[in-house]
């Protein structure tokens, strides 16, 4: 059914991709499709269990396999595959399996897809919870930051989704650009045919907010919207509704459901594009987080402007007018939403801004070519590339000396009778 190829990539996933529930799942599917188009045979492996929302990877020609943490069966597994590239999905999988990859497939290019800088998101969440100002120094002091940066150094290339995070890593941490590549989400350009499919201002109504309930920044955003922002909007727009979509909604989110006040908790959206395309405005009152927000990009792709915070808009574009209005406190956020909801001229300009952001920063053809060029360059001079990454080789040496023997101790312990 699918053509055989000698080029192989092993993807080690922290979870199985769920493109219909998370932006991270959509990102992984984009990468898988890129490697398929380049003639690679992908194998996706994970220690996690699949869910009802997991994508059917085998249906697009991807081999899949469960793997066991702290178990030598992985060594045999990777030797049989003989991958040309190993892609780690999030730094935690590199911590768990990176030393085994280096030992059993030393010539494979090791690529880390950070998704977002987890340490940045967690540090901001911690600062927010403690009601203290977040600083880059605060981020640097966290243990998880040191772990994530070490993982970046140990890999041959790390894919960074956010422009802000690229700047943070190159200017604050002083990581060589040779180890990094800015690779955001990848989309086909918005052409005239696509624009003609967008609903006009008059046919789009109400507000939408999208966020996976497993993601703490999304839970906080919905709570902020329900408790502090929506009452202000509803007071000025008494007939308006906001529809909240997201899989895995916890009870704390469900308790906010209040249809009488136009606040509707809808659960999982089978097609996020459809629900966002029908709304007049996309709301994302994000107080902390990292990476780039897929929900805002989906809004741009469907001609729906957004109201979000500086954190929400962070890293998406440089020096480009926003696809709506950026406001940080609840009162200004509500005022911005009310204004843009009623002003067709400003709304139409915001829609055009979103199209420009997508076409100038997320062009699939351009980004795929950049990724292909980087991979081909690594293939040509991998040894030289690694020789110039002394910190990475040093960290890998210590990882082999510590993580390896801790893992082997756990493996031995697990084989002993209890």
Mean pLDDT value across residues 92-99? 94
* pLDDT given for residue 414 in this prediction: 65
Q: According to the model, what pLDDT value does residue 81 have?
A: 96
Topology (CATH) of 192-361: Rossmann fold (3.40.50)
- Range(s) for CATH 3.40.50.2000 in the chain? 8-186+364-415, 192-361
> Mean of the pLDDT values across residues 399-407?
61
Q: How confident is the model at residue 401 (pLDDT cuts 50, 70, 90)?
A: low
Q: CA 402, CA 52: separation in Å to the nearest integer?
A: 37
Average pLDDT of the residues in 329-339:
98
* % of the chain with per-residue pLDDT over 70: 94
C-alpha to C-alpha distance for 265 and 217, rounded to whole angstroms: 17
| pLDDT value of position 276 | 97
Q: Given this model, what pLDDT does residue 291 score?
A: 95
- pLDDT the model gives residue 31: 98
Whether residue 318 is predicted with pLDDT greater than 90 in this model: the reply is no
pLDDT at 404 over 90: no
Lowest mean pLDDT among 56-65, 296-305, 310-319, 393-402: 393-402
User: Who contacts 316 (Cβ-Cβ below 8 Å, separation ≥6)?
Assistant: 162, 163, 184, 292, 293, 296, 297, 357, 361
Give residue 406's pLDDT.
61
CB 265 within 8 A of CB 290: no
Inform me whether the pLDDT recorded for 165 exceeds 80.
yes
Give the residue-averaged pLDDT of 156-173.
97
Q: What is the dihedral sign for C-alpha 8, 12, 18, 23?
A: negative
Q: Is the pLDDT of residue 413 over 70?
A: no
The C-alpha atoms of residue 311 and residue 124 are separated, in whole angstroms, by 10
b/e 29-50 (16+ beta carbons within 10 angstroms → b): bbbbbbbbeeebbbbbbbbeeb
- Please check the confidence at residue 410 and state whether its pLDDT lies above 70: no
The pLDDT-based confidence of 311 (bands split at 50, 70, 90) is very high
Confidence grade of residue 418 (pLDDT, cut at 50, 70, 90): low
Name which of 284, 285, 289, 292 is nearest 163 in CA terms: 292
| Model confidence pLDDT, tens digit, residues 242-282 | 999 999 999 989 999 999 999 999 999 989 999 999 999 99
Question: Domain 8-186+364-415, what architecture?
Answer: 3-Layer(aba) Sandwich (3.40)
pLDDT value of residue 70: 87
Say what percent of the chain tops pLDDT 90.
88
Phi, psi at residue 205, to the nearest 5°?
-145, 160
* Chain segment 1-55, per-residue pLDDT in tens: 455 678 999 999 999 999 988 889 999 999 999 999 999 999 999 999 999 999 9
Of these ranges, 16-25, 355-364, 398-407, the one predicted with the greatest mean pLDDT is: 355-364
Confidence of residue 130 (pLDDT cuts 50, 70, 90): very high
The rounded mean pLDDT for the chain is 93
Partner residues linked to 187 by β-bridges: 363
Residue 323: pLDDT over 70: yes
């Amino acid at each position: 059914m699918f053509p055989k190829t000698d080029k192989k990539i092993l993807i080690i996933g922290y979870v199985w991709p769920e493109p219909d529930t998370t932006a991270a799942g959509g990102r992984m599917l984009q990468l898988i499709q890129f490697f398929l188009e380049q003639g690679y045979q992908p194998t996706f492996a994970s220690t996690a269990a699949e869910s009802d929302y997991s994508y059917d990877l085998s249906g697009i020609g991807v081999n899949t396999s469960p793997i066991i943490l702290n178990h030598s069966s992985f060594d045999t597994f990777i030797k049989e595959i003989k991958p040309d590239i190993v892609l780690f999905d999030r730094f935690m999988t590199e911590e768990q399996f990176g030393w085994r990859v280096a030992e059993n497939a030393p010539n494979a290019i090791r690529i880390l897809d950070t998704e977002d800088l987890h340490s940045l998101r967690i540090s901001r969440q911690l600062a927010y919870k403690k009601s203290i100002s977040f600083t880059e120094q605060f981020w640097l002091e966290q243990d998880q930051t040191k772990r994530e940066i070490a993982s970046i150094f140990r890999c041959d290339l790390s894919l960074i989704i956010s422009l802000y995070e690229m700047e943070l890593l190159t200017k604050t941490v002083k990581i060589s650009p040779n180890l990094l590549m800015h690779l955001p989400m990848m989309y086909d350009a918005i052409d005239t045919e696509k624009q003609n499919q967008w609903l006009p201002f008059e046919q789009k109504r109400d507000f939408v907010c999208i966020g996976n309930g497993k993601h703490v920044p999304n839970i906080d955003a919905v709570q902020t919207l329900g408790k502090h922002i929506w009452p202000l909007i509803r007071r000025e727009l008494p007939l308006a509704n906001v529809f909240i979509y997201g899989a895995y909604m916890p009870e704390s989110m469900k308790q906010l459901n209040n249809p009488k006040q136009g606040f509707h908790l809808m659960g999982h959206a089978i097609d996020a594009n459809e629900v966002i395309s029908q709304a007049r405005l996309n709301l994302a009152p994000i107080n902390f987080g990292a990476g780039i927000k897929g929900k805002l990009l989906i809004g741009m792709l469907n001609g729906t402007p957004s109201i979000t915070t500086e954190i929400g808009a962070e890293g998406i574009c440089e020096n480009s007018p926003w696809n709506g209005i950026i406001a940080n406190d609840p009162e200004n956020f509500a005022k911005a939403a009310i204004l843009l909801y009623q002003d067709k001229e400003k709304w139409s300009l915001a829609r055009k801004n979103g199209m420009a952001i997508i076409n100038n920063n997320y062009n699939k053809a351009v980004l795929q070519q950049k990724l292909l060029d980087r991979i081909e360059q690594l293939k040509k001079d991998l040894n030289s590339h690694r020789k110039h990454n002394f910190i990475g080789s040093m960290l890998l040496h210590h990882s082999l000396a510590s993580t390896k023997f801790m893992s082997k101790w756990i493996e031995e312990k697990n084989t002993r009778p209890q």
